[in-house]
Copies of this chain bind each other. A is one copy, B any other.
Amino acid sequence: MKNDLFLRALRGEPLERTPIWIMRQAGRYLPEYRQTRQKAGDFLQLCKNPELACEVTMQPLERFDLDAAILFSDILTIPDAMGLGLHFVEGEGPQFHRPLNTPEDFKKLSVPNIEETLGYVTQAVRVIKKELNNRLPLIGFSGSPWTLATYMIEGKGTREFKKVKKLLYQNPEAFKELLRLLADAVTEYLRAQIDAGVDAVQIFDTWGGQLSAQTYKNGSLWSMQLVMDALTQSHPHIPKILFTKGGAHWLPIISQTNAQALGLDWSADLPNVIKYLSALPAHQKKAIQGNLDPAVMLCTPDVIRREAEAILQAVGTYTGHIFNLGHGITPDVPPDNLKVLVDYVHERSQAIRSSS
């Protein structure tokens, strides 16, 4: 690997500078992405076309000096493969034609055959790996079982999560079985991505922070741990990043998992997080990934540099920091602003680390 900074950060090795990649770096803020998407037809057709998925995966790497590529796909491919009928409504985000309504609906589901139903994803991984040609590591990913369940039950995005939570509280046993099934599916899906060539995996627990502490522990975190245990068994050398958005206050329990790195959203108090992680025994040490507020990317270059500097200062010389936003980059960010961020993080982190 020509640039393996990202992988070395995941292993907690001392580095000459901080690696950076950006959630949704292949996305709507790039005019060339919008062009390819139009060529594909719509977002889902873009995900399902390995050559075009490769094309958009590579686009941000041509513009910016990023330290990792991430597979272009969607977090909801698994429920689509299970037959729920994923589609995208303009301006409203993802929806399912056949959402789950009762615990009886859960029982009709089974783990999909990955090569048959999600072969377009593993094929995209192979095409991208070839195109990357060992220039940078490639990140594979999946939604967490709980995050998949929220969409599968609500049928679309939601602010209040009432339908899914009512089912969760009212039918804890059946819900646990649903999460177990989804954990099996996520495991098989990530294994297939790894076998096709990804160098690390990230679990996006986008809606974990919506749970109560107890249902997070016994539900979302429990099912992600099933996935990570299985991956550790089958692929011990592939690092795992766990990102629970809104989960900063659960750091004491999240840091006990066997993830190599923790994703942090912008609300996480970095000095406290680093103090906590630094006090853990060596075998429990975690890399961290984040956590610039995506709204900063809408500001002028001086503000972007000021806020990036604050994060680099807070991290100091902690070994194992991967710079990222606290959530995906938004479509209204001027692409040049990302260049400002990437270049600043590289220059300044090198200066900070060489002077310490």
CB distance from A50 to the nearest CB of B (A): 32
A2 within 8 A of B: no
Give the total of A residues in contact with B, Cβ under 8 Å. Answer: 41
List B contacts of A88 (CB < 8 A). none
Q: Work out how many copies of this chain go into the complex.
A: 2
Interface hit among A37-45, A142-150, A206-214: A206-214
A 233-288 contacts with B by CB, 8 A: 246, 248-252, 266-270, 272
Complex CA–CA separation, A209 to B160 (angstroms): 16
Q: Known contacts A170-B300, A272-B252, A300-B170: does B159 contact A310 (CB below 8 Å)?
A: no
List B contacts of A270 (CB < 8 A). 213
Q: Known contacts A162-B298, A170-B303, A295-B166: does B252 contact A267 (CB below 8 Å)?
A: no
Chain B residue at smallest Cβ distance from A208: B267
Whether A166 pairs with B298 at a CB distance below 8 angstroms is yes
Which A positions have Cβ atoms within 8 angstroms of B? 159-162, 165-166, 169-170, 209-216, 246, 248-252, 266-270, 272, 291, 293, 295-296, 298-300, 303, 307, 310, 326, 330, 332
8 extra interface residue pairs, beta carbon distance < 8 Å, beyond A162-B330, A166-B298, A213-B268: A169-B293, A169-B307, A212-B291, A212-B326, A213-B267, A213-B269, A213-B272, A249-B269
The 9 lowest CB-CB distance pairs between A and B, nearest first, are A249-B249, A165-B295, A213-B269, A248-B249, A212-B266, A166-B298, A170-B299, A212-B293, A169-B299
